[in-house]
Amino acid sequence: MQGPAVFMDISLEDQAQELRKYFKSLGAEISEEKSPKGIEDDLHKIVGVCDVCFKETNEADVEAILNSIVSIMVSIPLERGENLILAFSQRLTKAPGP
């Protein structure tokens, strides 16, 4: 399955929704709908399930998905995004090795 493109020319909220749909298609327990609480909550939920993409066999697809998450994450002010960065880093440490 083709994942969402990196640095899409759509709003951050729509990009987050595309990521939600993608992770849901991989079997993650996540709603496909945007969070009414905003992009930070969307990103928190996406980070919570992002490790399901490690099941993908194509390394380029996994990299594209993770880059999509980072492209949204950099838009969050550091003082509000620090916990997201830590959570994302913890998920990455669970990635299977080569």
Domain ranges in the chain are 12-29+36-92
Predicted TM-score of the model (pTM): 0.86
Asked if 50 and 3 touch (Cβ cutoff 8 Å), the reply is no
pLDDT per residue as tens digits for the range 69-80:
999 999 899 888
Q: How far apart are CA 92 and CA 46, in angstroms?
A: 13
pLDDT per residue as tens digits for the range 44-62:
999 999 999 988 778 888 9
Q: How far apart are CA 74 and CA 81, in angstroms?
A: 8
**From the CB of residue 57, how many other CB atoms can be counted at a distance below 10 Å?**
6
Q: Which of 28, 24, 19, 14 is nearest to 68 (CA)?
A: 19
pLDDT for the residue numbered 1: 46
